[in-house]
Structure 1
């Protein structure tokens, strides 16, 4: 609406002098207008017309600028102003035919009255869309966090001793049977009255030590009285998160978990152990354990009774037990023991012993060898006296005729040979040979009847980890369990075989319904994901399944088996515990991966992998503090490729260690050349892969590079290394430190590392992940989180590096938070070796406007 039209309206409503008001409005820099008592728009300055009216020149009613709900609110406020209200403030949604929603803060205030004594009103509008969106985002985050706490099985508590405030989550109350309205204990002493008398003194001490930051008391258990009167077991986990200047804890946060069921299970286990002891006593079975590394042997009381000995006798390997063996059995028995110790298999045996009184007895034994958690090779077994059984057995054996025995043996041998030739020895499923015969038979039947064939190729996920950690006996049990599940899950008429290792194949007639095959695969995955108990361990594994099916008169069953294998590869690559159908895209993906693998190997031969460098800067002075080495692939066809385009394939190819080694050698040569040119770069950091840290020859290879102490640091990913370092990795890290190579943790804040693991690894620096840095300018929570990481670093004498710094504001905030080193596009982008000298000599590493 043009300003002269609004001025005439204002003059006609309030007199000639008020035309001056219209002119004054135009001089104001913020949106403001004048409306009458009915909401008619009388005057509006240029910002108001530009921001809120636009090209809608016919707009005469102020309330039309807002949605229907907002118009009703405006009418109500206008009525209040007519009745004498001084001013009104509203937050309204702007009416828009399209585009994102806008919100406006509307301030209405009386200006004057027209000749009819009706009020004229000033209207000031402020766009609060961004603030509104920010408030809604914060509300959504808070709702998400609250929902997570509610759905958690642990109750959260927060003791802020500085403010005197204490918080207890709804789950914390639910554990104790409390409603939200139930009052809490008035003091710690009053709460201790709810603790079981036998635990009270220990709990008070544990709380004191937990508040003092003692890691030994970060977790403790105790009993507390439930609201309904019974005792519940609670596992308390807590840690100090804030301290005052003297180091005294001012805030402790933690969780309480109801472990009553677990405690009941432990008690049940103890009862079972007592029953087992009684059963052993009644049965007369003696139990022993041998340690072949120390030579120690532990016999229970029944073992001493069986051999007619007193408990004071010393039992060691190669001593007492061997002296009792019958001379005719001694060599065979000891050879049998040695053989099965090497194979680590269960075995049984029966042999004679001669007691000290000269009597002969026959002993039956069941034995199992294993390696314990300390690496000691051990054997555990049971002995019982079967002399009477042996005598009876011999009498029965003499009653049999030699011919009958031979006939039975020959018939059994023939059956075993036929069965073993076509079946897997462990699971008793058909083997690969049997599968090949079935493929030909089913293919012929489908050709005759016009039916189809479906093949499901199944591979067990995490089987290798179970086999490596719990031993082959556990792996064998998992395979038997998987075979049982498959036999119980397949449909009538389907055929299942174990074709080797942890791979199985289901062969089925296909009638044109992929949904049935998908449902079958999902049932198999669901059943195999259920935990399996083995010697006190809950073993969890799953399955990846590739499916190929085809109908027609000329089905190639062997090609179909190959297609199912290709689909299985896709299922494993896409995350495991899933099934995939074979398709042309699947085959193309395999071909593409194969091509990439070949090109990577060729690129290593041609020395195509080169380092790029990104400089790091001291947060306080913006002097250069170091340089990070980044791998790039100078591809002959596609140009310079970043790691995300080749690293995954390189890992599958087990070529990352080779790339790491190539990049390190080139980076060292560049670094030494820069120093010869007089460029002051304090250190060089390079990435190192997890597999390379398992290389037993790593330290020897690094020694050959003649790396000066303090010159190089290795960056390890937090999500991979901190809580998963095995002894071999830790030994290699210790050797690196002896060579003067520092350790840094990359992408810190994205994993789940504990303070204990940080202490164990003892890195030189923590590198805060760029995702935490990205929002530091807008989010107070992000600043607090980074501040906490900085405090952790300072308390452990670890430097803190912030990467992904892209704005001057981020530089200022991170420097104020106490970060030691900064890295990111705001300071320097990654560049080739040739770009480093020019960048440093140009002085672009120091930004005056940042440091000012």
Structure 2
């Protein structure tokens, strides 16, 4: 009968002597267990019990049950082995809760000692190697997984160990280049670089140099390399420094090479496809759009912008605002439904272009989600106005063909009416007007009577249209048409020629007062109109032209009336103007002047002239004021009063200012180099240029030396127009070292607070205040007050318009810092400046002025 577990240990203890193996168990740091012949655990030390998470021997099962089922076959082999053949075995133990752990197990058959009873059949020594074993297995798994991943990804591994002269290239690295595993590899850079495409060699060598020098610890670059069979393969190389030598330079660099030939070819195919698609879109005139449904940001291509007649960048409301009011709800609902159902859809609607033209649009769109998870709506629009009109005409023609003869005649009349009338107001349209005015001109020529044209344009119509919508605008047009119809006589003709423009044609106008008619139109248009509870006010400007007898030219009449209308609008609107021969002559002159200005800008005929400025005390020349001039090829040097107004209409004053400024800076640099002693130059700057957001950037490109340039601002500019852009430009000027001067001071409405806020370097007293100082004590007192204001604010004072020696003396006596005027020097070209300074002619006026100064003082004191 088998002995119960632990009986031997009890017998030994009863004998009064502890067995040897127990003493061994107690002194060892390893786990030990004693097994009987049946494989049961009869004894174990504390280390062994702790490894299983138990505190007593009774909590352990049989030894076989302590071993993981995965390793029990290994256990059977280990137990059968002879003692001389045994070696430690790596096996997994299993705790009572099922958790496995690795141990290094040794199985020992203890010798039977003569003086000990109950010797165990087998002793098991277990060393815990779980953490080490698991790390080893995990490392092996990772290495295997990494190798498989690199191979499956088609990446070839390379490793350059410069410290040991070891260069490693993986099987896949060789496969990419068509090499066999045992093919030799040329390690020389000079030899290998010959296999790289000639266009890529310099790029590759630069990348390798950056990597080997340590400049780039990690690099990625692509290049072409010749395959063994002769074709080129695209390779993407990724490398990283993994070790550094004692000198701090890379000693080992490793990385991967990937064959990206297919990707490159796909990119080229995609680029070709994109080019073909772009060409197809150009030819078909299809516009493409993309809407970010999360942020409502929109992107329209150029064809979309052109199709909708936009003059500014589209935003999230552009499309709905462009929709025809009658189609808006249906078209918007179609889009909302397509987005909600997340499927593509078609849409048809009308738009009102930026120029007021109505067009028919057809489109398709589809929602999608991009790679970042953001929902979009992408689609295309194309203009089908011609197709719609053609379909409508074909349908109409088919209906007419099927109708009875009298219905056919009525339909023809309706078509003719539609073709000749405005659909909104019912008035004749431009086509009808062209036919009518030609007929009226022929009649008037034959009868020797007068024919008059009144061109009418509604004022403030756009504001009503923009604020209250197109429906309000349409109602205003209908109202205007009604007024003109009420004022129309039996022989008169009224047409709407587009937008908010009308033409009133008065035949036989000899007996009708055209001025009274125009005034009646202007007065009637001023009366307020109610729309949906809103009071709408607008007006009308009228241009009038008339001719009589054989001189009548219908087309010229329309042109002349349009020019008169332009004049009426420029003179304040809500008024009428007649076209006259003087007006025509002025138009011709203005047109020639405009042509001269544009050609002058192109041929750089604009140039600076300079009026010297002098120290009031020493009469030394301290600077010059730059004045714009035009060197006309036939009319000579022109002053700004001959071209400035038209240049403003052409919006090219800023260009002229820049040309003059650049040339004056070049002249100033030459004077500085010649040592003429001119301390600074000053130049006028327009209000419009001060509002230019690009002004600061333009000035930075000129390389202006600090303190060499002053900009003169009109008093009204710095008080009235100091918006954010102006303030930013003024601040940037100060950063560039450009001084600010106030021009024509005393003629506007400047305040001390305004001067303190702007803090100019100097102010110029207007010539209108300087001129009377020699004969008016009150005027001298006023100018003296201005000088005192400048001194108290640490602002230099410049007196312009110093035209007589008396002016020189008085303004010096009043404390002005700088003098400028004809008494000392007139404006002159740059070439005259050196000779003028050399002659010092102005000093004679200075001497005369000092004598006169004493006379004036004596006269004042009497």
- Normalised to the residue count of structure 2, the TM-score between the two structures is 0.46
- Normalised to the residue count of structure 1, the TM-score between the two structures is 0.47
Structure 1 or 2, whichever has the larger Rg, is 2
